[in-house]
Structure 1
Amino acid sequence: MYILLALIAACALGIALHFLLPHRALRGVAVTPAIATAAAAALYTLLQWSGIAESSVWLWVISIGGALVLAALATIAISAVRTRRDAEQKQALGI
């Protein structure tokens, strides 16, 4: 049940991350929180399976912090791809 706390924290911080990163207009509002939540679930599960106890601070730091880092990197990559494709389309259309 503690995984829900990690998922809620990752989702809430993912929402904040969405507003902190540039190019918000190029992606959906749920993309960054969804990536953060999925990454937190995967990291938390992997750490639990590896034997790290729920009482360990490292479980929480790695699952939530790692999820935010992964979400930030993925969001920046998505925005960069979208910016590049938009520029290519504008050049192709002669805009």
Structure 2
Amino acid sequence: MQILLGLIIGAVIGLAVHFALPHRHLRGVVLAPLAGAAAAGIVWTALTWMGLGADSPILWIAAVLAPTLTTVVLVSLLTRSRVARDHADRVRLGV
């Protein structure tokens, strides 16, 4: 049940990243929260299997840093790719 804490933290961080980064109209609103929840869930599970409990600060720090880094990198790369592809399509169409 404690993994829900990690999943919720990851989804909230992902949602914050979605609204903090530019070009949010070029991506779906679910992408960043889902990526954040997945990253936090994987890290939370791995660290609890390694023996860390909810009382460990390392678990909480990792549950915040992993979705933050994952979501920022993923959303930035996908957005940059989308902007470049849209620009290439505009050039090709002469718009």
TM-score, length basis structure 1: 0.93
Shift of residue 33 of structure 1? 0.5
Match of 2:89 in 1: 89
Could you tell me whether the CA contact under 8 Å between 2:10 and 2:67 is conserved in 1? yes
Shift of residue 32 of structure 1? 0.5
Shift of residue 76 of structure 1? 0.3
Q: What SS class does the counterpart of residue 66 from structure 1 fall into?
A: helix
CA RMSD of aligned residues (A): 1.0
Match of 2:54 in 1: 54
Unpaired runs of at least 5, structure 2? none
| Residue identity opposite 2:29 in structure 1 | V
Shift of residue 4 of structure 1? 0.4
TM-score, length basis structure 2: 0.93
Aligned length: 95
Q: What SS class does the counterpart of residue 16 from structure 2 fall into?
A: helix
| Residue identity opposite 1:88 in structure 2 | A
Match of 1:42 in 2: 42
Q: What SS class does the counterpart of residue 52 from structure 1 fall into?
A: coil
Take 1:50 and 1:85, find their aligned partners in 2: how far apart are those partners?
A: 42
Take 1:76 and 1:47, find their aligned partners in 2: how far apart are those partners?
A: 27
Query: Which consecutive aligned stretches of 4+ in structure 1 deviate over 3 angstroms post-superposition?
Result: none
Match of 1:74 in 2: 74
Identity %: 36
Take 1:16 and 1:63, find their aligned partners in 2: how far apart are those partners?
A: 15
| Residue identity opposite 1:89 in structure 2 | D
Q: What SS class does the counterpart of residue 53 from structure 2 fall into?
A: coil
Match of 1:14 in 2: 14
Could you tell me whether the CA contact under 8 Å between 2:10 and 2:41 is conserved in 1? no
